């Protein structure tokens, strides 16, 4: 488990560096105003945009179909089933979730203190406590998401995000004209340009163009 965590932490660190790198390159203010993020990959301009209302409806249909497929497929398990399996292997996810809640309430107590302290050394001390508790909370979150990555919920979330990407990723064809890179979801599934997809996924996640969890 510790080993998995280290690998995951490394990945997160790399992602964090990429995000910082992207932050520097992408004009966030423009994305806030226009809901469009333009980026370059191998000297070609691409853009990502938010979904339209009609596309959101299309996505809900897709989500429903995929959910049914996953539920019917006995190879996939719900998070609750994974929790049971892990418990048999003495990995207690419910305990970890309780710890997250406990840490959250501890953080809130420290926040109430931070709001009223005045002295710089007191402020520093309380801020350190909050930062430490948040780190512990993040560790638990990483651990749980690692353990749950093969669940139906996670798989569905992944498929919805990839489907979204197939709709919102566009390539510049003329100065002001962009066209979808993947005309269909199937086309994206066959795609071999993993670098482009990885980059587009990161940018789309940063700017919340990809739906998360039950947000649909």
Partner 1 sequence: MIKELKKIARSSRWISLYRLSKEHSGIHLFNNTQELSDLQLIFLNWLNNYEEIIIDIVNKRTNLQIEDLEDDLRVEAYLYWKSQQKNDINKNEVKHGRR
Interacting residue ranges for partner 1, rule: CB under 8 A: 19, 23, 28-29, 31-35, 50, 52-53, 108, 110-112, 114-116, 118, 123, 127, 130-131, 206-209, 215
* CA atoms of 48 and 169, how far apart (whole Å): 5
Minimum distance, C-beta of residue 125 to partner 1, in the bound complex (Å): 12
With respect to partner 1, which residue has the nearer C-beta, 33 or 74?
A: 33
Contact 123, 114 (CB under 8 A): yes
What crossing angle do the helices spanning 79-88 and 93-114 adopt, rounded to 10°?
A: 110
With respect to partner 1, which residue has the nearer C-beta, 19 or 138?
A: 19
- In degrees, rounded to 5, the angle at the alpha carbon of residue 155 between the alpha carbons of residues 152 and 157 is 105
Contact 155, 163 (CB under 8 A): no
**Could you tell me where the beta strands, DSSP code E, fall in 57-153?**
none
Minimum distance, C-beta of residue 136 to partner 1, in the bound complex (Å): 16
Minimum distance, C-beta of residue 160 to partner 1, in the bound complex (Å): 14
Minimum distance, C-beta of residue 30 to partner 1, in the bound complex (Å): 10
With respect to partner 1, which residue has the nearer C-beta, 123 or 173?
A: 123
With respect to partner 1, which residue has the nearer C-beta, 118 or 194?
A: 118
* CA atoms of 9 and 15, how far apart (whole Å): 10
């Amino acid at each position: 488990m510790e080993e998995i965590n280290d690998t995951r932490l490394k990945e997160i660190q790399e992602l964090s560096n990429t995000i910082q790198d992207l932050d520097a390159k992408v004009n966030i203010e423009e994305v806030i105003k226009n809901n469009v993020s333009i980026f370059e990959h191998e000297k070609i301009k691409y853009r990502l945009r938010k979904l339209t209302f009609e596309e959101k409806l299309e996505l809900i249909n897709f989500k429903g179909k995929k959910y049914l497929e996953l539920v019917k497929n006995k190879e996939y398990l719900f998070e609750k089933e994974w929790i049971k399996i892990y418990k048999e292997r003495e990995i207690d996810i419910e305990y970890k979730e309780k710890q997250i809640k406990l840490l959250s309430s501890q953080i809130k107590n420290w926040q109430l203190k931070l709001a009223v302290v005045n002295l710089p050394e007191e402020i520093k001390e309380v801020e350190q406590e909050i930062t430490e508790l948040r780190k512990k909370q993040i560790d638990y979150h990483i651990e749980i998401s690692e353990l749950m990555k093969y669940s139906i919920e996670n798989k569905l979330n992944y498929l919805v995000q990839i489907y979204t990407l197939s709709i919102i990723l566009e390539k510049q064809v003329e100065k002001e004209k962009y066209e979808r890179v993947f005309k269909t979801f199937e086309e994206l599934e066959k795609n071999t340009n993993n670098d482009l997809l990885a980059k587009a996924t990161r940018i789309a996640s940063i700017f919340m163009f990809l739906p998360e969890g039950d947000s649909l």
